Every structure is written in structure tokens, then in C-alpha cells.
Structure 1
Amino acid sequence: MNTRQTGNVYEQMAADYLEKQGMRILERNFRRGRNGEIDIIGRDGKYLVFVEVKYRSGDEKGNAAEAVTTAKQRTICRVADYYRYLHHYGEDTWVRYDVVAIQGETLHWIPNAFPHHYSARS
């Protein structure tokens, strides 16, 4: 399996898990051209949720959740802002950024994993 296929398998695992927890999946692999991608977008109660999925086969490459760097968080926030603009979600929309970290066969969902990063760039 190549990297993209592996990613798809674990993103599907994460989406299935989130749906079982009550989240409604709206989109997967939402892209803003070459400016970034959000793995899963969903609704969880009043929240519009942007989810980053990270997988590590073991501990040798570090913790999966820690792989969501500040730079990656900023990218996710920029793409999320674009998604909200495209779909006419106003400033009053409750937004949350979650991470689903899969380490080996263990899945860990981290709601509200990081805050919104504001940027002058769009």
C-alpha cells in the first residue's frame, strides 16, 4: 500500500469512529488548491469541526498527535476559513479543531486539540 492508500484507510477508520460518536461527516479531503487540505469536516452538536487525522505505525517516528505542528495548524485554519467562506458560515459559527491520532492500532480522538490561528494570509 502506498502512503495515500494508507492515509485513506486510517481516515476512513477515523470517520467511522467519529460517526459512531455522533458526529455528522460533511466532507472528506477538502482542498484549497495547493494551499492545504482538511481530512474530515463534520458537525458535532453546535460545532463545525475540522479534523486532522495522523497515523503512526509505531513509536519510532514519534507521537501521532505531536505531528500536527503549529505550521500544520495554521494551514488547517486557513483552509477552514476558506471552507466557511465558501459555504456561508458566519463569524458566529462555533468552530472546533480536532485531531484523531492513530498510533499502531490505538485511536485517540482529541476534541478542541488546538485554537484557531489567525493569519493575515488567506
Structure 2
Amino acid sequence: MESRRRTGARYEELAAEYLEEKGYVILERNFRCRSGEIDLIARIQDQIVFVEVKYRSGNGKGSPEEAVDRRKQRTISRCALFYLTRHPDVEQQVRFDVIAISDMEIRHYEHAFEYID
């Protein structure tokens, strides 16, 4: 059985490839700070995009989108703020996206949520 971390890495790579095909530039993968982790940080045009990638093999635990709850959004928001303080030169607009993967179908939700303090 494949480890959860290895499975996650495989689907994060799939999400990164999907974004790159759409013109995004991947800036960071698995950005970590004390608050948690952001799966992908990308740039497209004048926006920095913080991306949470979720995979589910079935609906037994709900859809991948449902896993990005308010608590997870707060964690991502705090990591994004930390990233931005570490990169004061970033002047682009910021948004939070979710990429949900199930049964090899990719659903990309742009502006999936707002910053949560």
C-alpha cells in the first residue's frame, strides 16, 4: 500500500502539471512554516496563487473539496501571510485556489476562499 505522503506527492505533481499547462509558473512546492503547509504556490499574470490540492479515491470520506474546511483555510491563510512577509518584493494580487482530484478528474476552483485570520 502506498504511503499517504507518497500518494499526496503524486497528486500534487499532477496538479502542478495541470497548472503549468494553463500558463502558471510554480514558485514553491510544499511550502512549510510553523502554522502548516501550502501545497503549491504559483504565479499567473499579476497574481500569486496559493493552492491546496486534495485527492480522494472515493466519496467514503466526502469529496476532496469538502476537506478544505474553515480550519484548513485558516492554516493556509496563515502560511500565505508568512510567505508574503518572507517575500516583501511580491506586489501581485493574492488568491486562494483548491484543486480537487478524484477518479483522475481534476476540478480547479479559482478564488475558492478568502483570507481567514
Q: What range is the shorter-chain TM-score in?
A: over 0.9
Count residues with an aligned counterpart: 116
Q: Classify the secondary structure of the residue corresponding to 2:100.
A: strand
Q: Which amino acid aligns with 1:107?
A: I
The residue number in structure 2 matching 1:82 is: 82
Residue 53 of structure 1 corresponds to which residue in structure 2? 53
The Cα offsets for residues 38-88 of structure 1, whole Å up to 9 and x where unpaired, read as 000010111100000000001111110111010100110000000000011
In the other structure, the counterpart of 1:37 is 37
1:89 is displaced (CA, Å) by 4.3
Task: Note the alpha carbon deviations across 1:70-111, whole angstroms, 9 max, x for none.
Answer: 010011000000000001146x53000000000121110111
- What is the root-mean-square deviation in Å for CA atoms of aligned residues? 1.1
Q: Please tell me the residue identity of whatever aligns with 2:55.
A: Y
**TM score, norm. by length of structure 1:** 0.91
AA partner of residue 92 (structure 2): T
CA distance in 1, matches of 2:108, 2:89: 25
Matched to 2:79, the amino acid is V
Unmatched segments (≥5 aa) in structure 1: none
Q: Which has a greater percent of strand? A: 2
User: In 2, Cα distance between the equivalents of 1:3 and 1:15?
Assistant: 18
> What stretches of structure 1 move > 6 A for 4+ residues in a row?
none
User: What is the SS of the residue equivalent to 1:28?
Assistant: strand
Aligned equivalent of 2:14: 13
Q: Summarize the alignment of residues 64-83 of structure 1 with structure 2, pairs less than 5 Å apart.
A: 64-83=64-83
SS of match in other structure, 1:99: strand
C-alpha distance in 2 between matches for 1:57 and 1:22:
27
Partner secondary structure for residue 60 of structure 2: coil
**TM-score of the two chains, using structure 2 as the length reference:** 0.95
